[in-house]
Structure 1
């Protein structure tokens, strides 16, 4: 309780599900301040009005119910709640899910501004590579609970090393692929059942380079070119374009 919201807070996926539909949004944010700071309801609501201004909402919205707000507005309320106690770390779980592209851009821009203003670190959990490219400094590519590759955002996008990272980057639509008349492709197979994990590298069943050692031993993370990579053959993959790794997939796509 001492850590939750005060040191580490969270922006939940799907703002509508994170807000109580029968309680005014101002009261929901104020509750955090009342519980942790011992404020009266009137004092807390005054702070909430200031928070709403900072996240781009009118102060009068404290009296609104969730159903009276748009998706973007509800997400701003959740952001205000996450920042109410000035935590040092905010975990943002798919913060732009179910929002249209224009509102997504506004929310991401708001988060970046608030991050600088409050000096807070933000961990983004997302499947959207475009979001990563827009907001991240460091990126951890995860698969089946393992960090497969970790590094700065520029290196991950320009010089991915792990086959899974190369597959993700290679599946992004691009003008160059259109010019070369290459079809979009996807990584074959499906993620493993985490309740019945096979031995070895979790990505081995879907990896085009998998060998016997991959099916027997989980690779240890290694540092290569300032990136941390979990692959038995990482040294051989440095500088290899995604298309070369996934050539057979591209040819049959």
Structure 2
């Protein structure tokens, strides 16, 4: 196959000009920007991006250059006439497994185009659950390279060689990692400066303080016989804050006892990382 590596970069101040493998709207029609949070996605379905990420606040932020997205087509690194990317599982079994040499070629192509300390993540149902804390950690870095699995998964040797972290959306299996990758990116991008507009809006939402978010209400004041709690109409900000905290604590204790126990362990000074 032809070497897909890009030509040497030419720097023009904040902008970096680079040829692309496959231009896509909102992703490669604009030059890459220096020091901007970047998401790379290695996938067999590059046309799935930006997808929902191109809409609403994340799409506007993408267009405005607050973050950047690059979808890397794994098929371009496939072997042979048909660009094969998978093979049968060693030891037998159903399905196919993504080849280590093919994935390594894609990773080696992608990583020089992102900060060296950017996270490298494989979306996998056996990975650590995606959390708000993880999204905050990703938002605090320069970007992330996300690997979307397909078929029966990825050869373990690639994961071990590159020290790839595995992340999961939950205890269920998807047909591929693309939806999970978009969820990781969305959860992270919304935390970047300037994306939401009102930075305070993330301070009281679910998981911000280890608690689920309190109930929300808006006009009309009465709807189908149900009214807004009096305290929220009182104008007494101190009492409103106390009510909201009490509601968050009650909801967390009822619906997520795991979070409630973890929060109590943290506030009591215990180490919950073990």
Structure number with the higher helix fraction is 1
TM-score by length of 1: 0.27
Structure number with the higher strand fraction is 2
TM-score by length of 2: 0.26
